[in-house]
Amino acid sequence: MKCVMCNKEMDKVAHWVAGQPIGPKCFAKRFGGVKIPHKVTKNDQTNLFEETMINEEFTHHVSRLFIKPEDHMGLMVHASMGIAGEAGEVVDAVKKHWVYGKELDRENILEECGDLMFYITALLTETGYTLEEAMQANMAKLAKRYPQGYTDKAAIDRADKQ
């Protein structure tokens, strides 16, 4: 089995985090030797993968590189098409792993998700929002929809849409 972080073969799994095996060395490096429960809950997963947000720096990066049409609609269409195109590339990478049994190209997933973030940031900026505002809105929406955690019933009932 391979470690999801370094992709090296490993004799034993230190922990499973978000359904992925992490080797002892990567686990120690990533989590600083902090003990975590063997079975990680959804809330634990969120805390384990928190990173320092660099929203302003990334937004500046996007604004410097995003080739902008002259008008507001052109900006939104360009960013929207970029989102759709990059999402398609992520789907294709996962499809090759799932359907064809190829090894998951984690570097490609990282690159394409970065591209997605680029276009998402461009669209948010053009519509007057920040990444942080989008994340906060998503958390509020899903907290209302799934107050006790995800269930199929809650997904069907859609408490946030009543």
How many residues comprise the chain? 162
Contact between 14 and 5 under an 8 Å Cβ cutoff? The reply is no
Question: CA end-to-end span of the chain, whole Å?
Answer: 46
pLDDT of 106 reads 93
Alpha-carbon span 28 to 13, nearest angstrom: 12
CA–CA distance, 59 with 67 (Å, rounded to integer)? 14
Q: How far is CA 115 from the centre of its chain?
A: 12
CB 15 within 8 A of CB 38: yes
Closest by CA position to 30, among listed 18, 44, 48:
48
Per-residue pLDDT of the chain (162 residues; tens, 9 = 90+): 777 778 888 777 666 654 566 777 776 666 555 444 444 444 444 443 444 446 778 888 888 888 778 788 999 999 999 999 999 999 999 999 999 999 999 999 999 999 999 999 999 989 988 888 888 888 888 888 888 888 888 888 887 776
Position 14 scores a pLDDT of 66
pLDDT at 16: 60
The residues, ordered by sequence, that sit 6+ positions from 122 with a Cβ below 8 Å of its Cβ are 62, 66, 75, 78, 79, 82
Confirm if 79 and 119 have CB atoms less than 8 A apart: yes
Tokens (6 digits) for 28: 């120690």
